[in-house]
Structure formats: structure tokens, C-alpha cells
Amino acid sequence: MTAASSTTTTTTSANSRRDMQQLIIQPGDIINEDDLFSNIGIDCGDIDTAYLPLLQSIDTILLLGGGVPLSPTDPPIYVQRRCDVVARIMTHSEIVNRSKVICLSAGTAHLPQYILPHTGLPLWESTASAAYLLHHPIDPVPSDRVYVETASYDTISNAFFARTVMTDIMRHEDCCSVMRRKPQRVLVVTNEFHVGRSKAIFDWIYGVPSSSSSTTMKSDDDHQQYEMFYLSCNNIGLTTEAIDARKAHEMRGEVNVRTKLSVKYKTLHDVWTFLTKEHDFYSASKLAERAMTGVDTLHSSAEELKLSYGKSSGSSSSPLPTSNLRREQEEGRTQMAEYKNGKIVLTLDVPSILLVVVASLLYSYVYK
């Protein structure tokens, strides 16, 4: 089943159950933002009560990053949408002090990173997302519930490091402290254009045992210890062309995960082997070759993906063409108008964000 059909099936099922006031969501289901906040105005600022039992049962929220931040406290607009939804969930009166949120991603493999001018060091994408949550003007999230992961550069490594560095350790501590043996519930939050491939990847990596021996022994510490749920946020802040390019890339990636990677790499150790021997950003030989030669060994689709993130067709550090900026601004304004009376309102207007983008690009162009 494709991502689109999976989402449609989940939405239809949820709507029919809502009519009977018996909303039941199964592990692996995709929840749409519009369903989560359906029929509830922004002034009310609440979540559809039918979803509260599920949200109250979530142990960890994984907030995916993606794209160069606009500033130290502002991820890209479409990631801000994910953050706004998570902030609303995390601060709900009936959910507060329950879930933890882990902001994912050090950077994006095919894009240069945001460099902090006062330190000369890169700004992790997860740092910008965390700062946005912590300083949210409407729903600030308490600092003791926010974590950052700073080793991943794509969705596969998002899942791998989220599990191995974060949730496996959290789950073990939880089991030891309260003698809990039921699966941990994880909610993965991303945008609609990204949710299909994300589901394929996280279902794969969170569903495999640590090693082949774990499969045979049925260890409590390994196999089937997670129940995964997915939240699809609206595609705010991207042009129609950018969304179309993203969806084409995501569909190819999802097929590759479902038909090749998940079939070949069946344990967490297998995934580690794939990353350290074959992945462009984790293989020592590939990293060394790129460092010495400057040759980009990323897949041929990388340039298309760069363009979908707003990169110009010229130099990697060139500012966006004026025509592109005008189109981004006009489409951004249209989207903001459409969602002004919606469930969640972004806290920055589009012209201000565009000024930050242009300034950041010009800075990287001059000081590269």
C-alpha cells in the first residue's frame, strides 16, 4: 500500500469511528493534523477529545527536522508547523508532564549547515527546533521534557540514532524503574509530504531486533518493544513546485526502503553495518574521499532535492533568484491566509522569514 493510500485509509477509518464516537487508532496508523484539531477553533486552543486517550498513552514524541534553520530559534517554516503541533500537544492540560519530545537531526546531508557567527560552529537543526519549542510564545514546552539528537543527517539515521541513542535507553530505564513490560508508544511527527517514507523507515528500524540472536531468544529488551504512531502536519511554507519535487523524491525513497533496505537489513546490527559501510555520511572511506577530492558522491536525485529546499540552480551558496523569492512570498502569504483561522497559527510572518533567509544566504555567500 502506498503512503497516500495508507493515509487515506487511516483518515476514512478514523472519521467513521468518530461518527460512532468510538475512535480507535491502531499502531502504525497515520493521524492527520486536520483530524486532530477538527471542528475546534484557534481561540479554543484545544485538541479533539477523541484523540486524548491515545495522546495520553504516548511515551515519546519524535519531532523530525529537515532543512537549514532560519535562525538559532527558528527552523524552516514547514518544520515550525511540526513544532507548533507538538507544542500544543505537550502543553495540553490533560497531557502535560507525560510525554517527552526528542528533536531530531544534526543537519541535512545535501545542504550546507547554518554557521553561528559568534562561534563559527554549526547550528544543529534539532537545536533550532528545541529552541522554538522552549520559547514558543503560546505553548512553551518545559525544558525538562525536551531532548535533542545531534548525529543524524537523513531520515534513516534519524530513526537509527533516535532509537539507539535515545529511546532504547529511555525504555530500559522505564522498565527497570517501574517494572514495565508493555511496549513503549512513540509518536513520529512530520509533514504530509514526508510521512509515507518516514513511516516506512521508522516501522523498519523500530521493528527490528538488535541482533539475530534476539529474534531467536525473543528477548524482552529487543523485539517488538515499540508501538509506532504517525502525525502528518500540513505542508506550510513550501511552493507547489517544491512540494511536488519533495513528494517525487519521497516516493522513490519509500519504495527503496520497503522493497530493498528493510528486506536486506533485518536487525539493528545490520542497519549499523549499512550506515558505517555504505551510507555516504557515515562510511569512513566515503567521507574521507569526499573530504580529499571534493567530489559529491550523493545520489543523482540530490540536486533536485536541493532545489526543492529552495537552493538556486547556480552556486550552492548563491542567494535565491528574485523571481523565486517573490513566488515563495506570494505562496506563503496565500497559505497563511488559508490557515489564519485554522488550528495553529505560525508566530512569524512570511516577509520577516524571507528577510532572515536572504540575510543568511548572503552571509554564507560572502563568508564561505
Kind plus residue range of the DSSP H or E element containing 101: strand 100-103
Helix axes of 125-134 and 77-90: crossing angle, nearest 10 degrees: 50
Where b means 16+ CB within 10 Å and e means fewer, 261-270 reads bbeebebbbb
Distance, CA of 221 to chain centre: 26
Which pTM value belongs to this model? 0.77
Which grid cell sits at 27?
Answer: 499502531
Indicate the range of 138-142, 194-198, 327-331 predicted with least confidence.
Answer: 327-331
What pLDDT does residue 304 have?
Answer: 52
> Which among 6-15, 215-224, 267-276 has the top mean pLDDT?
267-276
Q: Are 250 and 196 in contact (CB under 8 A)?
A: yes
What pLDDT does residue 368 have?
Answer: 44
> Which among 191-205, 231-245, 309-323 has the top mean pLDDT?
191-205
Read off the pLDDT band of 21 (50, 70, 90): low
Read off the pLDDT band of 105 (50, 70, 90): very high
Phi/psi region, residue 75 (left: phi>0; alpha: psi -120 to 50; beta: rest), is: beta
Report the chain's C-alpha Rg in angstroms.
20
Domains defined along the chain, listed by start: 3-273 (3.40.50.620)
What pLDDT does residue 238 have?
Answer: 87
Q: Report the amino acid identity of residue 103.
A: C
Question: Hey, which residues does 132 pair with through a beta bridge?
Answer: none
Q: What is the mean pLDDT of residues 229-242?
A: 92
